[in-house]
Structure 1
Amino acid sequence: MNTFIDFMEKRFIPVANKISENRYLKSVSTGSMALLGVIMVGSIFTVIASFSWGPYQDFLTSTQLGTLLNYIPDFTIDLLGMYMAFSIAYCGADIFKIKEHALGTGLISLVSFLMLSPLTDVPEERLAYLNTSYLGAKGVFVAIFVSLLTIQVMRFFVKKNFTIRMPQGVPEMVTKSFTSLIPAVAIVLIFGLIKLLFSLTSFETATDFIYTLLQQPLQSLTATLPAFLVLILISNLLWFFGIHGSMTVLPILMPIFLGYLAGNTEAVSAGEAIPHVINFGLYDLACLGGSGATIGLVANMFFFSKSKRYRAFSKIVFPSGLFGVNEPVIFGMPLMLNVMLLIPFLLTPLVIVSLGYLLISFGIITAPIGILGAGSLPPLVHGIVQGSLSFGIYEIIAAVLSMAIYFPFFKALDNQAVQEEAAANELASEDSTVSEI
């Protein structure tokens, strides 16, 4: 075990730290999380509109409420790529130390993203329109590349002072607009040239090129259970050593899972089966109670602890664990570097995710939609919000499985604590006797 810990500390953790601190990945992760409100709103209305009960659907149709409810996903999740083009550039400008130009960077990135999206001409009506499929899930990776490149070009011009300087007394917003003018011209020319070059290829658009050569293969890779389990294992190993493992893994999964979310909501709206089973919902299952699926650990502590130490501690960690917060357990128990809990901490998420995936594959339970940001909801409620009552019921079963796996390891710790408290009480009693004499 010592050899393993030494290897992790010397070889694995430094690499993981570099990944989690990478400014490009942080920009993508922060920008994606900033869209949480938009994503949640769109997902919730998709769930509300998609309940498959016949009388309910007839009611939505007869009252036109179904049409009203479907407006919201059309302009939230279905335009996710467009929102990401702004959000990642806006948040990334702060991360790359050009915060004063964040708004301009975000807007220029959005313009550049729209430039790369193809226009469909309608000659008889003398108009052209944007194909919204290029603004949603299909455009997520294009949005990432556009926003990151926009940040770097803007940063280059700002750092080199290749900007228009306004005299004192000019309003701040006007000054910022003119400061961004030269880099804005350079950026739109770059993306205009990219658009032109791709129009001369068989792909025709940058979106089709990236979607075909990069996004589809990555989605296929992360759609496999073994690859997903490996990423969960890496995340929990990092947490065991006190490093925020989710911050290392989620930036890799974020753009892919956001693409899945859009595809899943479209399928649910059409009354079809969810095409992407491995999504944010399944990741939340791996983090039931927090990373390591520690809901079983805190439940055991709350219901079965004999020691004063863990009985008192459970009053804090059990309520927070129900809502997916387990930092008090990891750093306060501590679970971090606690060899006694390493096996259940790594094993539990793999077991409950694998079983859940198996039940979904056999049609026993319905897959979650994959809503981002629902991980703080307690079991059952989380599944319902994800559009699947059966998945919510399985979360209760998964919590019981977590308790069963953690139980023998926790009892060993609890018994040890009981013995230590008994020894401490005995010593205190002896000291009291001596002082009386």
Structure 2
Amino acid sequence: MQGLMNWLERHIIPIASKIGNEKHLVALRDGFIGTMPATMAGSIAVLLNAFLRDFPTNWGWTGFVENMAPVISVNGYIWAGSLAIVAVIFSISLGYNLAKAYNVAPLSGAVVSIAAFIMGLTQSATTNLTLSEKLPANVIGLIEEAGGSVTDGTTIVAKAWGFFNFDAHMGGSGLFTAIIFGFVSVIIFSKLMQANLIIKMPDSVPPAVSKAFAAIIPACVALYTCGIINFAFSKATGLPMIDWITTTIQQPLLHLSQGFGSVLLIVFLIHLLWFFGIHGDNVMAPVLSTIWGNAMNQNMNAFQKGLEIPYKWVSGTFQAFVWPGGSGATLMLVCAILAFSKRADSLTVAKLSLAPGLFNINEPVMFGMPIVLNPLYMIPVILVPCVTAGITYFATMTDLVRPVVVSVIWVMPPIINGFLATGGDWHSIILSIVNLLVGFLIWTPFVFAANKVELEG
């Protein structure tokens, strides 16, 4: 065991520390965190509509749904301004944080990032109208003269310029494009700003005006670069670049994220880092947010619209079921200590850690017990979440529990968290209780072992 720990400390932990502090990944992580005010508001709106519209409709409470129509409509507005355009919001947040990492004007970075993202969106919309009867030839001719087309005489296909595609581009499905063009545009902008390729204004000019003029040349170069990339790609392939990114990069990664191996690997890495005192959630946040967070946004949008839920494992699944009470499911360690420990020091830490643990705050037990760098607790702090991940994976993939469809604030207590995250699926309560019991059973033998260590000492 000691040999393994020494090897990890020499070879793995330095790499993890560098990754955790790499400025581009930190900016990516903070970019996702920056969207939380909007995404949380959108999540609340989706959750409320589930209880005010979806469930009552299934129960036949049509009168209740009609009375709640104004509230449901307001929630729809909130959703449209948050989750429906989460890629737009993220693009702004990423640009701000990336420019900040380069120590250049953050607001200008946000403007450059959102402009680079928007320019790549398709600007026309196509709609199909299926008719119950076949159109006569003269009517078809009039439609074609107006710029439309008719298929089989019964389907009118109309296309118009000046429309963005919310579903395909501006929601969670546009996040990968926002990331790519956010990085390309803001890095170019930042490098040129650092190279002092700017328009300098006299000292008498107000600072706000001076900063705006200073950003003009770097911003123009960055945006023209992105514009040329989009133009050249569309000419070469006949596809908008955002659609190509979605098809060839985003969808394969999301498909891989649904495999048990991917889930188990990320859980293992997060808790291995935690054992060495590195905040595993923060280090892995770029992966969690980019891949599983994207799936989360698409699930929430589908749930709001009453569509089929596209992904069964999303970022919220980890928090709701895999590590209740915080990383390592340490709330169950606290309960096992309170039930079986004979060590005064452990009992004191457990009593102080119980209340925070109920709200998924486990730093007191992680560093107070401690679990960090404690060889006795290395196995359970990694094993428990891996086992609960396996149980949760089986339950969600076999449809015993509805997938997570609502983003719930991370301090929500276990059991309640899972119930709200699944949009009120009562099966989630059973799953949460099972995972808590399993965590308790795995942690308990190590508490007894800790008692023996105390006695031998």
TM-score by length of 1: 0.90
- Equivalent AA in structure 2 for residue 64 of structure 1: A
The Cα of 1:8 is off from its aligned counterpart by 0.6
Pair 1:43–1:203, CA change in 2 (3 A): farther
What is the identity percentage for the equivalent residue pairs of Structure 1 and Structure 2?
27
- Equivalent AA in structure 1 for residue 436 of structure 2: A
Which residue matches 2:80?
74
1:199 aligns with 2:199: no
Counterparts of residues 208-219 of structure 1 (less than 5 Å): 208-219=243-254
* Alpha-carbon distance in structure 2 between the residues aligned to 1:203 and 1:223: 31
Deviates more, 1:391-400 or 1:208-217: 391-400
1:354 aligns with 2:390: yes
1:401 aligns with 2:438: yes
* Alpha-carbon distance in structure 1 between the residues aligned to 2:16 and 2:238: 36
- Equivalent AA in structure 1 for residue 77 of structure 2: Y
The Cα of 1:200 is off from its aligned counterpart by 0.8
Structure 2 gap segments, 5+ residues each: 127-145, 148-158
The Cα of 1:126 is off from its aligned counterpart by 7.7
Pair 1:62–1:322, CA change in 2 (3 A): closer
3-state DSSP class of the match of 1:178? helix
The Cα of 1:269 is off from its aligned counterpart by 2.3
Cα offsets for 1:207-241 (capped at 9, x unmatched): 11211121111111111111111111011111111
Query: Is the contact between residue 310 and residue 414 of structure 1 (CA under 8 Å) also seen in structure 2?
Result: no
Pair 1:146–1:327, CA change in 2 (3 A): same
Pair 1:236–1:121, CA change in 2 (3 A): closer
- Equivalent AA in structure 2 for residue 195 of structure 1: N
Pair 1:405–1:117, CA change in 2 (3 A): same
Which residue matches 1:141?
176
Q: What is the aligned-residue RMSD (CA, Å)?
A: 2.1
The Cα of 1:308 is off from its aligned counterpart by 2.1
Which residue matches 1:106?
110
Which residue matches 1:13?
13
Q: Which of 288, 292, 297 is matched with 2:324 structurally?
A: 288
Which residue matches 2:49?
49
* Alpha-carbon distance in structure 1 between the residues aligned to 2:354 and 2:185: 45
Query: Is the contact between residue 46 and residue 300 of structure 2 (CA under 8 Å) also seen in structure 1?
Result: yes
The Cα of 1:152 is off from its aligned counterpart by 1.1
- Equivalent AA in structure 2 for residue 131 of structure 1: N
- Equivalent AA in structure 1 for residue 205 of structure 2: V
Cα offsets for 1:151-170 (capped at 9, x unmatched): 21121111111101111122
* Alpha-carbon distance in structure 2 between the residues aligned to 1:392 and 1:80: 29
1:182 aligns with 2:217: yes
Pair 1:92–1:75, CA change in 2 (3 A): same
Structure 1 gap segments, 5+ residues each: 421-437
- Equivalent AA in structure 1 for residue 441 of structure 2: A
Which residue matches 2:205?
170
Pair 1:311–1:6, CA change in 2 (3 A): closer
TM-score by length of 2: 0.86
Query: Is the contact between residue 85 and residue 170 of structure 2 (CA under 8 Å) also seen in structure 1?
Result: yes
1:132 aligns with 2:163: no
Query: Is the contact between residue 268 and residue 382 of structure 2 (CA under 8 Å) also seen in structure 1?
Result: yes
1:94 aligns with 2:100: yes
Which residue matches 2:365?
329
Query: Is the contact between residue 171 and residue 298 of structure 2 (CA under 8 Å) also seen in structure 1?
Result: no
Counterparts of residues 281-320 of structure 1 (less than 5 Å): 281-284=316-319, 285-320=321-356
Query: Is the contact between residue 367 and residue 391 of structure 1 (CA under 8 Å) also seen in structure 2?
Result: no
